[in-house]
Amino acid sequence: MKNQIYPWQTGQWANITKQYHDQTLPHAFLFNGLKGNGKLHFAKCLVEFLLCERKQGSQACGECKQCKLIYAQTHTDFRLTEPEEGSAVIKVDAIRSLVEFFTLSSLQGGSKITILCPAEALNHNAANALLKTLEEPAGQSIIILISHSAGKLLPTIRSRCQVVDFDTPNQQQAYEWLKSNLSRGGGAAPPEADIAALLSLSSNAPLRAKEYYEINALVENNLMLDEMASLLKNDSIVTTVSSRWDDDLFSLRLAWTIRWLELILKHKMTGETAGVQGQHGEKMISYLAEKCSEFQLLALYRESLNQYRLFLGSSNPNKTLGFEYLLHQWTKLMSSKGVQ
């Protein structure tokens, strides 16, 4: 097998490969879990296993014709369905094409498989078109839906799939994997504090943490924390900060501010400081946890999530105005009035 699943996915792999050997595989899976924990990689490994001609127990051989076609991305019985370039939505035409794909006979004599990622990107018409295929699958069809937020899917879609939950690895496992992967190629791994900060910023999702390292996200996140602290102390103005944050990283920036709120809320409600101590912005996070009420923090958290959904949707909202609105809500945390 050329591709190996990640260490925190062994339980899911054992269960699904057992289903295969017991001939009890469903025609549709829904892989659900936080973005950055390796669901798409797991799904591709599963496709390789299912299409392999010479399986070795619970592993693909990596050498047969089917495996080589998968590696070359030329296998005629497998299709990856994603939003078109420049779009955040999977449209109905893509699903109609997928339905046609499943109605045609297999050119390799086995199953026909698609990975659809992310499932919540389906627009209304596309979701309804997919539902018909899930209700009446053609031949040896296998549909693997990947979702970072399964609650956004139609209940009728979820109910027609076998749901497989992918939790993030425990802290030690995530740390060891990330440290090992960041030191590959002979280079030195980052300091332990940076690895811990990357995992905290990514909510312990190792693949996302690795991406953050590659784009030097810690530096940018720390700069944002400084800008937020300056704003809360009235040393800067909202329009200056929002204008700088309106760039190619805008969705990540908003995700990071949501993560800050999660840390503040956790500190406020449980006294937990593991994700705060020693981190950049520790003083600000601790101060807001002590000063603000749960109502204030939860209200801002809900507002931030609503803006995040708008940013990731298809309505193309004004990002600068969105940031300005949220930053004004942050400044209200410093007053007794709170978020309105």
Task: Record the pTM.
Answer: 0.85
Q: Alpha carbon 91 to chain centroid distance?
A: 20
Q: Among 128-132, 250-254, 276-280, 329-333, which is the least confidently predicted range?
A: 276-280
User: What are the C-alpha distances in Å from 297 to residues 171, 201, 262, 277, 335?
Assistant: 26, 19, 9, 20, 13
Q: Region 13-17: what's the mean pLDDT? A: 96
339 pLDDT band, cuts 50/70/90, is: very low
In the chain, where the domains are located:
7-166, 215-332
Return the higher-pLDDT residue of 316 and 191.
191
What pLDDT was estimated at residue 109? 78
What pLDDT digit, counting tens, does each position of 107-145 carry?
887 889 999 999 999 999 999 999 988 887 777 889 999
What pLDDT was estimated at residue 20? 94
CATH 3.40.50.300 fits 7-166, yes or no: yes
What pLDDT digit, counting tens, does each position of 75-113 carry?
999 999 999 887 888 999 999 999 999 988 888 878 899
CATH 1.20.272.10 fits 215-332, yes or no: yes
